[in-house]
Amino acid sequence: MLKKLQAFAHGALVPVLVLILWEAGSRAGLFSEVLLPSPSAVAVKWWAYLLPTQDYVPGSGAYFTWLISGELLHDAYSSLYRVIVGFIIGAGLALPLGLVMGANNRIYDLFNPLVQILRPIPPIAYIPLAILWFGLGNPPSFFLIAIGAFFPVLMNTIAGVRHVDGIYLRAARNLGVNYWTMFTRVILPASTPYILAGVRIGIGTAFIVVIVSEMIAVNDGLGFRILEAREFMWSDKIIAGMITIGLLGLVIDTAVSRLNNHLLRWHRGLEH
């Protein structure tokens, strides 16, 4: 427990120092309150963004429902929902294709040229097509996020399968296992660290894409609210939304990291 507290304090040192310097600079008049409001002003706006927009009226409904009716929670839920659905679609398509491409040279040679042509195209470039194909709302966001998550998972899966240590493969052949057993008991477990690394990168990319897509195609979410705040020069609300995105990303990344450590506890690099 003490080690965890020490690690937390060590990790929080730089962010706290930045906040102190930022607050001191704002109070000294070094920064414009319109362009770069102080951390305390951002905190006040973040709290107002979190609270319900209307007062609670007894008898009008459940208190808890009213308590979570604030814009921030609604926007965070909308963004997180789009990230999860889009990521599941992208990773769900990338994982089997990556496994097959990594395990079969003929399929790899067949699909690799197309993958290498499409991979450098940023998901943002698909925005006009996404709107033309899917209109407005969640579908174009799902499409863009799926593209953003697809290639990190695909490329890491391919790399993981193709970099399985030959000693494992030769040992399995000497034991007389068939190809399916070798794939499920040797190749797939050995490539899991690469796959999970791709999952972690893919989720990070999904968070980037969801904010851009919400600025274009939907009328809620953190990206939409940041764009709305820009129109009214609400810099404090813009920064509050950005901090919320960062906190959500930190929570998701920490959860994925812990899941990776649990699934890879057999890996000698994670032994304690």
Which DSSP helix (H) or strand (E) runs through 136?
none
What mean pLDDT do residues 73-78 have? Answer: 89
- Alpha carbons 191 and 107: distance in angstroms, whole number: 18
Is the pLDDT at 270 greater than 60, yes or no? no
Q: For residue range 218-255, list pLDDT tens digits in order.
A: 888 888 889 888 888 888 889 998 989 888 888 888 88
pLDDT computed for residue 192 by the predictor: 84
Is the pLDDT at 11 greater than 60, yes or no? yes
Q: For residue range 107-123, list pLDDT tens digits in order.
A: 999 999 999 999 999 98
Task: Tell me which amino acid residue 186 is.
Answer: V
Q: What is the mean pLDDT of the chain?
A: 84
Is the pLDDT at 150 greater than 90, yes or no? yes
Q: Which residue has the tokens 């040192």?
A: 13
What mean pLDDT do residues 160-188 have? Answer: 76
What mean pLDDT do residues 64-83 have? Answer: 83
Is the pLDDT at 93 greater than 90, yes or no? yes
| 61: alpha, beta or left? (left if phi > 0; alpha if psi -120 to 50) | left
Q: Which residue has the higher pLDDT, 66 or 44?
A: 44
- Alpha carbons 241 and 73: distance in angstroms, whole number: 11
- Helices 235-263 and 71-103, packing angle to 10 deg: 40
User: In which band, very low, low, confident or very high, does the pLDDT at 272 lie, cut at 50, 70 and 90?
Assistant: very low
